[in-house]
Amino acid sequence: MNQTTISAKQKKQSSVYGVLEKKINSRSAKVAVIGLGYVGLPLAVAFGKAGFQVEGIDVDPKKLKEIQSGKTPVVGVSDSEIQDVLEKDRLRVSSDYTSLKDADVIIICVPTPLSKSLDPDLSYIVSATQAIAKNLKKGQLIILESTTYPGTTEEVLLPEFEKKSLKAGVDFFLCFSPERIDPGNKKYELKDIPKIVGGINSESSKLGVMLYQQIVSKAFPVSSPRVAEMAKLLENTFRIVNIGLVNELTTAAKELNIDIWEVIDAASTKPFGFMPFYPGPGIGGHCIGVDPIYLSWKAKFHGRELRFIELARQMNAEMPEFVVRKVGEILNDHGIACRGSKILILGLAYKKDVDDTRESPAFAVMEKLAKQGAQISYHDPLIPQLNWNGVQLKSTKLSEQALKDFDLVVITTDHSSVPYETVVKYSKAIFDTRNVLKNYPNRKNIVRL
């Protein structure tokens, strides 16, 4: 859609724009957040803390019950924060989409996974869009935050809303603003991270910027939703390519008998032109492993093949197999066959200090070792129990006796709360894929990736 321009005089006369502008600035606007996961719940709480009346919508009854009881289901939001906004009646949660009729602002924070064939699955976005369209009214601002391919806002959301005979950019306003939340990152919380806002016209962008400035330090407008959508994918494509590069160099460094961690530390002394990335057992989570594939998929429709993305994806996907091969070598060095060996996987989450296991490489490592006949146990301080392939497992306590019983401990996630000194002291052998034991350089029972 072409940018619609409204003159300053028209804007002043526009009761729709003017009323919404006044509501946002006075924080009297009612905000609805669809999807109360790692992105939506922090956003809903932030708006509630800022004084807005927030309606959180989610289809998971367990999650809704947990929030209503004052408990947080996600890392990054504390129980006390939820209790505070609940007590002040700034946050209500339900699965009722009809509450969207009363909202002035609607923010979509639903999952955007991949199908088994690695195609984008927009079913959650489509479902949310249809629910909004049923309840759409004049004077609403709708913002999509879910990461997706360039064009989604204008090609999927906008046509559905325009069926209501309301004029986009005049009667209602539409933006894309990519989520940038990093779960578990205490240095950069939601309020510290600038928001990119791309509206279907300048008025949509201005309202979007105005809204986010109520809860974040800076909101940065761009010329269109496509630019905002592409910016998010660039951020994560940059990461997947560089992680793929360092993972490939790690495999080469092993053959050359070079410590890749020392190499990275040495290269990091250069004050310009270099940014350190670190190897690991693979990549996980929703962002790095999924988002670039959305871009690659979209590019194919325009006759472009994004080879860097595909090569990086392949390299990162091979890392669990590389880890398993190294496990076999370590066991052989101790005179133990993989079949029948007792292995403890230390850390199931895809990254440190979160309980999110989506796409975690730890599971690929576990499954490959189990196929080779290893007996698998796990420890994760944030995941007390797990249903793995139909088997109910419990996190193993890191006691002296328990650690001595394992033939090998494989560190796949570097949680801060793990008693590593105990692990090092009592484990027969440790394979550290995260370099979390770098302060134990002379311990013969430690092998690093």
| Residues annotated as catalytic (active site), given as ranges | 287
Inter-residue contact 316 to 282 (CB < 8 Å):
yes
Instruction: Report which DSSP code applies to 120.
Output: B
Q: Where are the alpha helices (DSSP H) in 259-405?
A: 260-267, 287-300, 307-317, 319-333, 361-371, 400-405
Q: In the block, which residue shows the tokens 């959305």?
A: 294
Inter-residue contact 285 to 254 (CB < 8 Å):
no
Question: Maximum Cα–Cα distance for the chain, whole Å?
Answer: 82
- The DSSP H or E segment spanning 8 is helix 8-13
Instruction: Find the distance separating the first CA and the last CA of the chain, reported in whole Å.
Output: 50
The rounded distance, in Å, linking the Cα atoms of 277 and 196 is 25
Instruction: Report which DSSP code applies to 99.
Output: G
CA-wise closest residue to 449 among 248, 225, 181:
248
The rounded distance, in Å, linking the Cα atoms of 152 and 298 is 10
Length, in residues, of the chain: 449
